[in-house]
A = this chain, B = another copy of it.
Amino acid sequence: MSKLELPALDQTACCSPMVREPLGETAAVDLARMFKALSDPVRLRLLSLIASHEGGEACVCDLTGPFDVSQPTISHHLRVLRDAGLVGSERRGTWVYYWVLPAALTRLSDLLQAPAVPVGAATGGDR
Contact among B43, B49, B53, B115 with A48 in the assembled complex (CB-CB below 8 Å) = B115
Question: Residues of A at under 8 Å CB distance from B?
Answer: 14-25, 28-29, 31-33, 35-36, 38-45, 47-49, 51-55, 57-59, 61-62, 94-95, 100, 105-106, 108-116
B48 A116 Cβ-Cβ under 8 A: yes
A16 B112 Cβ-Cβ under 8 A: no
The count of identical subunits is 2
A32 B23 Cβ-Cβ under 8 A: no
A39 B41 Cβ-Cβ under 8 A: no
A35→B111 CA distance, assembly (Å): 13
A44 B58 Cβ-Cβ under 8 A: no
A62 B115 Cβ-Cβ under 8 A: no
B32 A35 Cβ-Cβ under 8 A: no
B45 A28 Cβ-Cβ under 8 A: yes
A115→B111 CA distance, assembly (Å): 16
A111→B22 CA distance, assembly (Å): 23
B17 A53 Cβ-Cβ under 8 A: yes
List 8 additional contacts besides A14-B95, A17-B53; criterion CB under 8 Å: A14-B61, A16-B58, A22-B52, A28-B45, A31-B41, A100-B115, A105-B113, A108-B109
